[in-house]
Amino acid sequence: MKAGLISIALLLLATTAFYFLKKEIPMEKNQIIPREKLFADADHLNVRISPDGNSLAYLAPYEGVMNIWVQALTKESKPRPLTNSKDRKIQSLSWSYDNKHILYKKDTAGDENWKVYKLDIDSGKSTRLTPEKGVSSMILAQSPLKPTKILISQNDRNPQFHDVVEYDLQTGESKRLYENNKYVGFLFDANLNMKMGLELAPGQKIVFYKYENDKWSVYKKLKNKEDTYFTSPLFFSKDGQKIYWQNSVGREYAALTLSDFTTQDEETIFEPTKGNIEDIMVHPTEKTPISVQVNYDKSKTIILDKTYQPDFDYLNSLGLGNPSVISSTLDFNTWIVTLDNGDQPPVYYIYDRQNQKATYLFHMFESLKDYGFAKTYAKIFKARDGMELVSYLTLPKDVDQDGDVLKSVPMILFVHGGPKARDVFEYDRTWAYRQWMANRGYAVLQVNYRGSYGLGKTYMNAGNGEYAEKMHDDLIDASKWAVAHGVTTADKMCIFGGSYGGYATLVGLTMTPTVFACGISLVGISNLQTQVDSFPEYWKPMVDQFITETGGDPNTGEGREILRKKSPITYVDQIKRPLLIVHGTNDPRVKKAESDQIVKAMQDRNIPVTYLVYPDEGHGLARPENKMSFIAAAESFLAKILHGRAEPMTDEMKKSSVEIAAGKIE
């Protein structure tokens, strides 16, 4: 269970000396890894065991698209695909507690209007449970006490708020349990009774309400908006009388606490000394926390229930990386475990607790397991005002000497989105990007600039109002650190990012126009005023959050002037370096108009720009053909400017839906 109901989104090494040697290691020793392998869909993803332990379900390619596969856990069984999605990959799945169905969601061409489906594992029949168009839905809750029932949220009645709908998997009947015109989140007990609602009140204040006898009453208010992201109810105890919380009130790092639902008397279960709780392992029927994962620079597992210490000791003894339990049977005797060392994709094991035996299941990427990968190193250094910046440096293999650099190389400053998200040492969705760039000869620096999530309340709230100011200063300071430590030179740095990272890229090339040699902006914001004006209806309650983050109120003249000053389009005439811009037509979060307007402004000023548009994508690139064309284009773009290695382009552009709206790709 991820810590935090409303969290958006989610080196203890000393600074080391570096060596600058004249002797060069031949590039041939650093074998080129084909981009089609690095960016291919995983061979096995989201592996989940059924509650009764009889079957596995997971995502894997079928006819080139990620679909749901099922395999019975018997020696003679073979995996079989149960879905045949051809237009859009399936990105997640979960078992129902009746062991007969798999639940999943899917959107259309990246519009993020998610539709929820049930999949019958015997017949293979897939049934859509939520409206077809213009509605955003998600699964809210399930319970083993009501194995055929699921709760779904959907905004078909009021686009701004999601109602609660109950669906019966056995009968196919559905009923609207609650018409919602106020709350942005709910909490249910083990019997799927609605117990709490969460309101995001004006001024970014959180109010928790108690639902009892069909009436709402104020339960708790957060006095400080600084606790908004770090304090929320997680789950009820087995008897429904107590609530486990993520709680940052009066603390720098959010603790796991347990409070009486009636009296609100509270006890602390676990409080980190550094780093936020990122994940909580919960017993599926006893509803007690087993362990937590805490992450500052690297993820660490802390066992809360010492009954399970021998299990984790055994899993750690395998020496394959940090163990994470991602699925279990209802009796909790069989676990699906990933082992992750950060430098390569995880491997999946099935673990038998009764016999304390782990059996290899799958490699996440079978086609990559024989390649050697670049290493990533956690680095902590200080910004100009003394704030620690938790960062990650990935070095090409031929210049890496245990985290020190043998010679300076071109560098990519790879900026995460959010901004209330973070980069991590362990495997995540950025892993392929950092390995790709390092394999092509670039150092890769990922910086958790202030405003990033997971590094403490002060760290994140230090980003409030600092768009294009101290948040950008952190990126500049990180670049200077890399130059000072011989990683790169001042004329060989590129800035690259998506979403907020795309905005940071545009800020970098407009407001600090000579720092970077080039920039790549993927679904980036160019105009903060038009960005907030285009929020989808169900984002409207979060306008106050936007005001806090950016420092500009779009409803006042003074606020609009602040947004104008922090918008890259205001400084478009200062662009001096090559820029590659990429956007999906159906993006609901950052509308394509954000890229359109800055591209037009550049063209009006005869400033060169390359602009790739994907008509069947949203906030990012999901279709493999589209992602491959973007990577090929970006690789060619970087090679021309920073002179790294590049695979020859073949027919990647023709296979994708890309429209080259400005410039050209060679």
| Cβ–Cβ under 8 Å, residues 265 and 259 | yes
CA 254 to chain centre: 20
Pairs from 303-311 (Cβ < 8 Å, separation ≥ 24)? 304/269, 304/270, 310/356, 311/335, 311/351, 311/353, 311/356
Helix (H, G, I), strand (E, B) or coil at 507: helix
Q: What are phi and psi of 33, to 5 degrees?
A: -100, 120
d(CA 297, CA 276): 11
| Cβ–Cβ under 8 Å, residues 195 and 236 | yes
| Cβ–Cβ under 8 Å, residues 321 and 312 | no
Locate tokens 């990620």: which residue? 66
Who's near 648: CB < 8 A, 6+ residues apart?
A: none
d(CA 164, CA 195): 13
CA-wise closest residue to 431 among 58, 39, 65 = 39
What type of residue sits at position 466? Answer: E
User: What six digits make up the tokens of 11?
Assistant: 């080196």
What type of residue sits at position 238? Answer: K
| Cβ–Cβ under 8 Å, residues 632 and 122 | no
| Cβ–Cβ under 8 Å, residues 276 and 295 | yes
Is 619 assigned a catalytic role?
yes
| Cβ–Cβ under 8 Å, residues 592 and 585 | yes
Neighbours of 483 (CB within 10 A): 16
Q: Which CA distances in Å does 545 have to 238, 247, 389, 542, 557?
A: 34, 19, 23, 5, 18
Q: What are phi and psi of 321, to 5 degrees?
A: 125, 180
Neighbours of 606 (CB within 10 A): 6
One of 587, 629, 636, 656 is an active-site residue; which one? 587
One of 232, 619, 636, 656 is an active-site residue; which one? 619
Signed CA dihedral, 541, 619, 520, 229: sign only: positive
Is 499 assigned a catalytic role?
yes
Helix (H, G, I), strand (E, B) or coil at 361: strand
Locate tokens 């773009």: which residue? 637
One of 328, 499, 595, 636 is an active-site residue; which one? 499
Q: What are phi and psi of 428, to 5 degrees?
A: -155, -170
| Cβ–Cβ under 8 Å, residues 289 and 269 | yes
Is 587 assigned a catalytic role?
yes
User: What six digits make up the tokens of 207?
Assistant: 């109010």
The DSSP output letter for 6 is S
| Cβ–Cβ under 8 Å, residues 495 and 508 | yes
CA 7 to chain centre: 11
Q: Which CA distances in Å does 485 have to 272, 437, 443, 480?
A: 32, 20, 12, 9
Element (H, E) at 603: helix 593-604
CA-wise closest residue to 95 among 163, 134, 150 = 150
d(CA 304, CA 310): 12
Element (H, E) at 561: helix 557-565
Any idea which residues carry the catalytic annotation?
499, 587, 619
